[in-house]
Amino acid sequence: MRWRIMLRAASPMSHLNCRSDMPEPVFALCYDIARDATRRRVAALLEGEMVRVQDSVFEARLTPVAARRLFEQATAMVDDGDRIRLYALTAPGLAQCAVHGGPPLPEDEGYWLL
């Protein structure tokens, strides 16, 4: 049986309350995909807009619309039994995050790389 994306009348991410003066929330997308070819295709999609922080975990500051679009594109690529999860990390949640090794958490403002 293929898992269906459950959509409610209000978007599951509508509670994020993203105003134009607030930084975009950090989204973490992780997967458990059985087939190597499928896993490579999903990783290539995600690497276009997110940073790989572990083998099957990606993070980025995205709008809720962009995060949902990536999630839907990724879920369209996978087979029955594969799993994909999308998590939204808002400012209070990020304040509790800790990182050891790998890339740092996404910055809340733009920056220049010289």
What is the pTM for the complete model shown?
0.74
- The predicted-structure confidence for 22-73, as pLDDT tens digits, reads as follows 568 899 999 999 999 999 999 999 999 999 999 999 999 999 999 999 999 9
Identify the residue whose tokens are 């800790």. Answer: 98
Q: Quote the CA–CA distance of 49 and 78 in Å, as a whole number.
A: 19
State the DSSP string of 17-61.
---TTSPPPEEEEEEE-S-HHHHHHHHHHHHTTSEEEETTEEEEE
Identify the residue whose tokens are 């898992």. Answer: 3
